[in-house]
Amino acid sequence: MALQFDPQDEIICIGSHRELADDGSVLPPIAQASLFRQPDMATLFDGLAREHEVAVYSRGTNPTLSVLEDALARLERGEACKCFASGMGAIAATLTAFLEAGDHVLFAGTIYGPTIELAQRLEGYGICWSRTDVTDLGGITAALRPETRVLYMESPGSMLFGLLPIVDLAALARDRSIVTMLDNSVATPLLQKPIELGVDLVLHSCSKYIGGHSDLVGGAVVGSAAHIERIFRKGLLLLGAAMAPFTAWLCLRGLMTLPVRLAKHHEDALTLASWLAEHPRVRRVFHPALANDPLLTQQMRGHSGLFSFEVDGSFADAIAIADRLRVFGRAVSWGGPESLVMTGHKANPVEVSPALPASLLRLSVGFEGVATLQEDLDRALG
Protein backbone atom coordinates (compact mmCIF):
# COMPACT_ATOMS: atom_id res chain seq x y z
CA MET A 1 0.00 0.00 0.00
CA ALA A 2 1.29 3.47 -0.89
CA LEU A 3 2.45 5.62 2.01
CA GLN A 4 0.16 8.44 3.10
CA PHE A 5 1.93 11.30 4.84
CA ASP A 6 0.43 14.06 6.93
CA PRO A 7 -0.06 16.89 4.37
CA GLN A 8 1.25 19.36 6.95
CA ASP A 9 4.57 17.45 6.98
CA GLU A 10 4.94 17.61 3.21
CA ILE A 11 4.63 21.40 3.39
CA ILE A 12 7.22 21.60 6.19
CA CYS A 13 9.61 19.39 4.18
CA ILE A 14 9.49 21.33 0.95
CA GLY A 15 10.47 24.46 2.78
CA SER A 16 8.00 26.52 4.69
CA HIS A 17 11.19 28.37 5.67
CA ARG A 18 11.31 30.02 2.23
CA GLU A 19 9.26 32.98 3.43
CA LEU A 20 12.26 33.91 5.57
CA ALA A 21 14.30 34.96 2.56
CA ASP A 22 13.69 38.48 1.21
CA ASP A 23 15.09 37.59 -2.21
CA GLY A 24 12.86 34.56 -2.79
CA SER A 25 15.62 31.96 -2.25
CA VAL A 26 14.06 28.55 -1.67
CA LEU A 27 16.83 27.66 0.78
CA PRO A 28 18.19 29.91 3.52
CA PRO A 29 21.68 31.42 3.25
CA ILE A 30 24.48 29.46 4.88
CA ALA A 31 25.46 31.57 7.89
CA GLN A 32 29.13 30.64 7.68
CA ALA A 33 30.15 32.64 10.75
CA SER A 34 31.45 31.55 14.12
CA LEU A 35 30.19 34.64 15.96
CA PHE A 36 27.52 37.29 15.68
CA ARG A 37 28.12 40.96 16.60
CA GLN A 38 25.56 42.58 18.86
CA PRO A 39 24.62 46.28 18.83
CA ASP A 40 25.59 46.85 22.49
CA MET A 41 26.80 44.95 25.55
CA ALA A 42 23.33 44.73 27.11
CA THR A 43 22.08 42.89 23.99
CA LEU A 44 25.16 40.64 24.07
CA PHE A 45 24.55 39.72 27.74
CA ASP A 46 20.88 39.12 26.99
CA GLY A 47 21.87 36.90 24.03
CA LEU A 48 24.25 34.91 26.24
CA ALA A 49 21.46 34.33 28.75
CA ARG A 50 19.26 33.01 25.92
CA GLU A 51 22.02 31.40 23.90
CA HIS A 52 19.86 28.35 23.11
CA GLU A 53 17.76 30.56 20.83
CA VAL A 54 19.89 33.62 20.06
CA ALA A 55 22.81 33.46 17.59
CA VAL A 56 25.79 34.63 19.64
CA TYR A 57 28.34 31.93 18.85
CA SER A 58 27.90 29.00 16.43
CA ARG A 59 28.74 26.31 18.95
CA GLY A 60 25.37 27.18 20.44
CA THR A 61 22.99 28.74 17.91
CA ASN A 62 23.44 29.55 14.23
CA PRO A 63 20.75 31.02 11.91
CA THR A 64 21.00 28.22 9.30
CA LEU A 65 20.75 25.58 12.01
CA SER A 66 17.78 27.41 13.53
CA VAL A 67 15.83 26.99 10.27
CA LEU A 68 16.53 23.24 10.29
CA GLU A 69 15.80 22.95 14.02
CA ASP A 70 12.49 24.71 13.56
CA ALA A 71 11.54 22.33 10.70
CA LEU A 72 12.53 19.20 12.68
CA ALA A 73 10.70 20.39 15.81
CA ARG A 74 7.55 20.96 13.75
CA LEU A 75 7.86 17.60 11.97
CA GLU A 76 8.23 15.80 15.32
CA ARG A 77 5.50 17.95 16.95
CA GLY A 78 7.96 18.99 19.65
CA GLU A 79 8.50 22.46 21.10
CA ALA A 80 12.20 22.71 20.32
CA CYS A 81 15.12 20.98 18.61
CA LYS A 82 18.89 21.13 18.71
CA CYS A 83 21.16 19.74 16.01
CA PHE A 84 24.55 18.10 16.50
CA ALA A 85 27.66 17.13 14.57
CA SER A 86 26.44 13.51 14.42
CA GLY A 87 23.71 11.23 15.69
CA MET A 88 26.11 9.99 18.35
CA GLY A 89 26.80 13.61 19.34
CA ALA A 90 23.05 14.06 19.92
CA ILE A 91 22.75 10.75 21.79
CA ALA A 92 25.78 11.45 24.03
CA ALA A 93 24.65 15.00 24.86
CA THR A 94 21.09 13.86 25.60
CA LEU A 95 21.94 10.87 27.76
CA THR A 96 24.58 12.72 29.78
CA ALA A 97 22.26 15.71 30.31
CA PHE A 98 19.83 13.48 32.25
CA LEU A 99 22.11 11.00 34.04
CA GLU A 100 24.17 11.51 37.19
CA ALA A 101 26.32 9.09 39.19
CA GLY A 102 24.04 6.52 40.86
CA ASP A 103 21.38 6.72 38.12
CA HIS A 104 20.34 3.82 35.91
CA VAL A 105 19.35 3.84 32.24
CA LEU A 106 17.36 0.98 30.73
CA PHE A 107 17.75 0.27 27.00
CA ALA A 108 14.76 -1.42 25.35
CA GLY A 109 14.75 -2.93 21.86
CA THR A 110 17.74 -3.69 19.65
CA ILE A 111 19.94 -0.68 20.27
CA TYR A 112 22.57 0.79 17.93
CA GLY A 113 25.92 -0.68 19.08
CA PRO A 114 27.86 2.54 19.82
CA THR A 115 24.97 3.78 22.03
CA ILE A 116 25.56 0.72 24.23
CA GLU A 117 29.33 1.29 24.09
CA LEU A 118 28.69 4.84 25.31
CA ALA A 119 26.68 3.42 28.25
CA GLN A 120 29.59 1.09 29.05
CA ARG A 121 31.89 4.11 29.08
CA LEU A 122 29.50 5.99 31.41
CA GLU A 123 29.92 3.18 33.97
CA GLY A 124 33.26 4.82 34.74
CA TYR A 125 31.31 7.89 35.88
CA GLY A 126 29.05 5.87 38.22
CA ILE A 127 26.10 5.53 35.84
CA CYS A 128 24.52 2.06 35.63
CA TRP A 129 22.77 0.60 32.62
CA SER A 130 21.06 -2.57 31.55
CA ARG A 131 19.27 -3.73 28.42
CA THR A 132 16.24 -5.82 27.79
CA ASP A 133 15.52 -7.65 24.57
CA VAL A 134 11.90 -8.29 25.55
CA THR A 135 9.37 -6.02 23.88
CA ASP A 136 6.35 -6.61 26.15
CA LEU A 137 5.22 -4.23 28.86
CA GLY A 138 5.57 -6.77 31.70
CA GLY A 139 9.13 -7.66 30.76
CA ILE A 140 10.18 -4.04 30.47
CA THR A 141 8.45 -3.10 33.75
CA ALA A 142 10.36 -5.89 35.50
CA ALA A 143 13.64 -4.52 34.15
CA LEU A 144 13.08 -1.05 35.66
CA ARG A 145 14.88 -0.22 38.93
CA PRO A 146 14.11 2.33 41.66
CA GLU A 147 17.08 4.36 40.39
CA THR A 148 16.07 4.21 36.70
CA ARG A 149 16.08 7.79 35.39
CA VAL A 150 15.98 7.15 31.64
CA LEU A 151 14.18 4.63 29.44
CA TYR A 152 15.94 4.62 26.08
CA MET A 153 14.20 2.96 23.11
CA GLU A 154 14.71 2.16 19.46
CA SER A 155 11.53 1.31 17.62
CA PRO A 156 11.89 0.05 14.98
CA GLY A 157 15.39 -1.13 15.87
CA SER A 158 17.94 -0.78 13.08
CA MET A 159 18.84 -4.48 12.82
CA LEU A 160 15.78 -6.66 13.54
CA PHE A 161 13.13 -3.94 13.20
CA GLY A 162 11.12 -5.05 16.23
CA LEU A 163 8.49 -2.59 17.48
CA LEU A 164 8.00 -1.54 21.09
CA PRO A 165 4.59 -0.62 22.57
CA ILE A 166 5.58 3.04 22.74
CA VAL A 167 2.33 4.46 24.17
CA ASP A 168 2.30 2.00 27.09
CA LEU A 169 6.00 2.35 27.81
CA ALA A 170 5.84 6.14 27.76
CA ALA A 171 2.89 6.10 30.18
CA LEU A 172 4.66 3.64 32.49
CA ALA A 173 7.78 5.81 32.53
CA ARG A 174 5.82 9.02 33.09
CA ASP A 175 4.16 7.51 36.18
CA ARG A 176 7.63 6.92 37.62
CA SER A 177 9.14 10.25 36.51
CA ILE A 178 11.46 8.43 34.14
CA VAL A 179 12.55 10.42 31.08
CA THR A 180 11.86 8.57 27.82
CA MET A 181 14.15 8.86 24.77
CA LEU A 182 13.56 7.22 21.41
CA ASP A 183 15.92 6.94 18.45
CA ASN A 184 13.58 7.59 15.50
CA SER A 185 16.23 7.47 12.75
CA VAL A 186 14.77 4.39 11.01
CA ALA A 187 11.18 5.67 10.81
CA THR A 188 11.88 9.41 10.37
CA PRO A 189 9.33 11.95 11.68
CA LEU A 190 7.21 11.31 8.58
CA LEU A 191 6.45 7.70 9.49
CA GLN A 192 6.36 7.89 13.28
CA LYS A 193 5.82 10.70 15.77
CA PRO A 194 7.04 9.45 19.17
CA ILE A 195 6.17 12.71 20.98
CA GLU A 196 2.52 12.25 19.99
CA LEU A 197 2.83 8.74 21.43
CA GLY A 198 4.01 10.18 24.77
CA VAL A 199 7.82 10.06 24.44
CA ASP A 200 9.82 12.96 25.94
CA LEU A 201 12.82 13.17 23.63
CA VAL A 202 13.26 12.02 20.03
CA LEU A 203 16.72 11.45 18.60
CA HIS A 204 17.86 11.34 14.99
CA SER A 205 20.91 10.47 13.05
CA CYS A 206 20.43 13.03 10.25
CA SER A 207 23.18 11.11 8.41
CA LYS A 208 20.46 8.65 7.31
CA TYR A 209 17.10 9.54 5.69
CA ILE A 210 16.95 13.20 6.76
CA GLY A 211 20.16 14.06 4.87
CA GLY A 212 19.29 11.28 2.48
CA HIS A 213 22.21 11.54 0.03
CA SER A 214 25.13 9.90 1.91
CA ASP A 215 26.93 13.23 1.95
CA LEU A 216 26.67 14.39 5.56
CA VAL A 217 26.96 13.31 9.18
CA GLY A 218 24.62 14.99 11.64
CA GLY A 219 22.21 14.47 14.53
CA ALA A 220 19.24 16.07 16.26
CA VAL A 221 17.12 15.87 19.38
CA VAL A 222 13.54 17.17 19.68
CA GLY A 223 11.44 17.61 22.82
CA SER A 224 9.94 20.16 25.18
CA ALA A 225 11.57 23.59 25.37
CA ALA A 226 12.72 22.88 28.95
CA HIS A 227 14.30 19.52 28.06
CA ILE A 228 16.04 20.93 24.98
CA GLU A 229 17.42 23.87 26.95
CA ARG A 230 18.83 21.43 29.50
CA ILE A 231 20.48 19.38 26.73
CA PHE A 232 21.74 22.60 25.16
CA ARG A 233 23.40 23.84 28.37
CA LYS A 234 24.72 20.53 29.74
CA GLY A 235 25.29 18.66 26.49
CA LEU A 236 25.74 20.83 23.41
CA LEU A 237 27.59 23.84 24.83
CA LEU A 238 29.90 21.80 27.06
CA LEU A 239 30.56 18.70 24.93
CA GLY A 240 30.64 20.92 21.85
CA ALA A 241 29.43 18.56 19.10
CA ALA A 242 27.85 21.37 17.07
CA MET A 243 26.56 20.81 13.53
CA ALA A 244 28.26 22.89 10.83
CA PRO A 245 26.05 25.42 8.98
CA PHE A 246 26.69 23.77 5.59
CA THR A 247 25.56 20.42 7.05
CA ALA A 248 22.34 22.07 8.25
CA TRP A 249 21.82 23.47 4.75
CA LEU A 250 22.34 20.00 3.24
CA CYS A 251 19.80 18.57 5.71
CA LEU A 252 17.27 21.22 4.64
CA ARG A 253 17.89 20.29 1.00
CA GLY A 254 17.44 16.64 1.94
CA LEU A 255 14.19 17.33 3.80
CA MET A 256 12.67 18.81 0.63
CA THR A 257 12.59 15.37 -0.99
CA LEU A 258 12.11 13.22 2.12
CA PRO A 259 8.45 12.33 1.35
CA VAL A 260 9.15 11.22 -2.23
CA ARG A 261 12.31 9.38 -1.24
CA LEU A 262 10.57 7.55 1.60
CA ALA A 263 7.67 6.53 -0.64
CA LYS A 264 10.12 4.90 -3.08
CA HIS A 265 12.29 3.35 -0.32
CA HIS A 266 9.17 1.93 1.34
CA GLU A 267 7.66 0.47 -1.82
CA ASP A 268 10.82 -1.13 -3.22
CA ALA A 269 11.99 -2.49 0.14
CA LEU A 270 8.61 -4.08 0.79
CA THR A 271 8.61 -5.72 -2.66
CA LEU A 272 12.12 -7.11 -2.11
CA ALA A 273 11.39 -8.24 1.46
CA SER A 274 8.25 -10.11 0.35
CA TRP A 275 10.19 -11.78 -2.46
CA LEU A 276 13.07 -12.74 -0.14
CA ALA A 277 10.61 -14.25 2.36
CA GLU A 278 9.82 -16.92 -0.29
CA HIS A 279 13.43 -17.51 -1.34
CA PRO A 280 14.77 -21.01 -0.55
CA ARG A 281 18.10 -19.65 0.73
CA VAL A 282 16.41 -17.30 3.21
CA ARG A 283 15.40 -18.49 6.68
CA ARG A 284 13.62 -15.36 7.96
CA VAL A 285 12.99 -11.78 6.88
CA PHE A 286 12.87 -8.99 9.47
CA HIS A 287 10.54 -6.27 8.21
CA PRO A 288 7.75 -4.77 10.38
CA ALA A 289 5.12 -5.16 7.63
CA LEU A 290 5.91 -8.86 7.17
CA ALA A 291 5.82 -9.46 10.94
CA ASN A 292 2.12 -8.48 10.90
CA ASP A 293 2.63 -6.58 14.14
CA PRO A 294 -0.51 -4.51 14.91
CA LEU A 295 1.81 -1.89 16.43
CA LEU A 296 2.88 -1.01 12.89
CA THR A 297 -0.49 0.53 12.02
CA GLN A 298 -1.03 1.89 15.54
CA GLN A 299 2.29 3.74 15.69
CA MET A 300 3.56 4.16 12.16
CA ARG A 301 2.39 5.21 8.70
CA GLY A 302 4.59 2.58 7.08
CA HIS A 303 8.21 1.46 7.06
CA SER A 304 11.28 2.89 5.32
CA GLY A 305 13.80 1.16 3.06
CA LEU A 306 15.73 -0.77 5.68
CA PHE A 307 15.21 -4.42 6.58
CA SER A 308 17.24 -7.54 7.21
CA PHE A 309 17.12 -11.25 6.53
CA GLU A 310 18.70 -14.39 7.89
CA VAL A 311 20.50 -16.48 5.31
CA ASP A 312 19.92 -20.23 5.53
CA GLY A 313 23.56 -20.85 6.41
CA SER A 314 26.44 -19.64 8.56
CA PHE A 315 28.10 -16.27 9.18
CA ALA A 316 30.64 -17.22 6.46
CA ASP A 317 27.80 -17.97 4.01
CA ALA A 318 26.28 -14.55 4.69
CA ILE A 319 29.65 -12.89 4.04
CA ALA A 320 30.06 -14.83 0.79
CA ILE A 321 26.63 -13.66 -0.39
CA ALA A 322 27.40 -10.04 0.55
CA ASP A 323 30.68 -10.30 -1.38
CA ARG A 324 28.91 -11.61 -4.50
CA LEU A 325 26.53 -8.63 -4.69
CA ARG A 326 27.37 -6.19 -7.50
CA VAL A 327 24.73 -3.48 -7.19
CA PHE A 328 24.36 -3.43 -3.39
CA GLY A 329 27.49 -1.78 -1.99
CA ARG A 330 29.20 -3.22 1.07
CA ALA A 331 29.13 -0.33 3.53
CA VAL A 332 28.03 0.86 6.94
CA SER A 333 25.19 3.34 7.41
CA TRP A 334 22.01 3.57 5.33
CA GLY A 335 19.28 5.89 4.08
CA GLY A 336 20.90 7.19 0.88
CA PRO A 337 20.03 6.73 -2.81
CA GLU A 338 22.41 3.78 -3.27
CA SER A 339 21.54 0.28 -2.06
CA LEU A 340 23.80 -1.13 0.65
CA VAL A 341 24.38 -4.42 2.40
CA MET A 342 25.84 -4.95 5.87
CA THR A 343 26.25 -8.06 7.99
CA GLY A 344 24.65 -8.15 11.44
CA HIS A 345 28.06 -9.00 12.94
CA LYS A 346 31.59 -7.92 12.21
CA ALA A 347 33.14 -11.01 13.77
CA ASN A 348 32.57 -13.85 16.21
CA PRO A 349 28.75 -13.61 16.27
CA VAL A 350 28.14 -15.71 19.35
CA GLU A 351 30.21 -13.49 21.62
CA VAL A 352 29.13 -10.15 20.14
CA SER A 353 25.37 -10.50 20.57
CA PRO A 354 23.49 -13.75 20.87
CA ALA A 355 20.24 -11.87 20.07
CA LEU A 356 21.20 -11.30 16.42
CA PRO A 357 21.22 -14.32 14.07
CA ALA A 358 24.76 -15.15 12.94
CA SER A 359 23.90 -15.08 9.24
CA LEU A 360 22.00 -11.78 9.29
CA LEU A 361 22.29 -9.42 6.31
CA ARG A 362 20.81 -5.93 6.47
CA LEU A 363 19.77 -4.16 3.27
CA SER A 364 19.30 -0.46 2.73
CA VAL A 365 17.20 -0.33 -0.42
CA GLY A 366 18.02 2.61 -2.67
CA PHE A 367 16.83 3.79 -6.05
CA GLU A 368 18.44 1.43 -8.58
CA GLY A 369 15.05 -0.17 -9.22
CA VAL A 370 13.44 -3.33 -7.90
CA ALA A 371 14.19 -5.52 -10.95
CA THR A 372 17.92 -4.70 -10.85
CA LEU A 373 18.15 -5.23 -7.10
CA GLN A 374 16.19 -8.49 -7.20
CA GLU A 375 18.43 -9.84 -9.95
CA ASP A 376 21.53 -8.88 -7.95
CA LEU A 377 20.23 -10.62 -4.81
CA ASP A 378 19.07 -13.71 -6.69
CA ARG A 379 22.46 -14.19 -8.34
CA ALA A 380 24.34 -13.60 -5.05
CA LEU A 381 22.09 -16.01 -3.11
CA GLY A 382 22.92 -18.65 -5.74
What gap in Å lies between CA 148 and CA 131, rounded to an integer? 12
Q: Which residues bind ligand PLP (CB under 6 A)?
A: 86-88, 112, 158, 183, 185, 205, 207, 217, 219, 333
Strand order in the sheet with 340-343: 282-286, 306-311, 360-364, 340-343, 329-330
CB nearer to ligand PLP: pick between 15 and 158:
158
CB nearer to ligand PLP: pick between 328 and 334:
334
Q: How far is the CB of 161 from ligand PLP (least distance, A)?
A: 11
CB nearer to ligand PLP: pick between 134 and 331:
331
Q: How far is the CB of 142 from ligand PLP (least distance, A)?
A: 25
Residue 75's nearest CA partner among 240, 206, 245, 171 is 206
CB nearer to ligand PLP: pick between 158 and 339:
158
Are residues 300 and 193 in contact, defined by beta-carbon separation less than 8 angstroms? no
Q: How far is the CB of 56 from ligand PLP (least distance, A)?
A: 26
CB nearer to ligand PLP: pick between 15 and 302:
302
| Beta-strand pair 179-183/201-205 | parallel
Distances (CA, A) of 176 to 96, 100, 139, 148, 168: 20, 17, 16, 9, 13
Q: How far is the CB of 69 from ligand PLP (least distance, A)?
A: 16
Run of H or E residues at 219: strand 219-223
Q: Which residue is nearest to ligand PLP (CB)?
A: 87
Q: How far is the CB of 21 from ligand PLP (least distance, A)?
A: 28
CB nearer to ligand PLP: pick between 336 and 349:
336
Q: Which residues contact 209 (CB under 8 A, 6 or more apart)?
A: 185, 188, 254, 258, 261, 262, 265, 304, 335
Q: How far is the CB of 209 from ligand PLP (least distance, A)?
A: 11
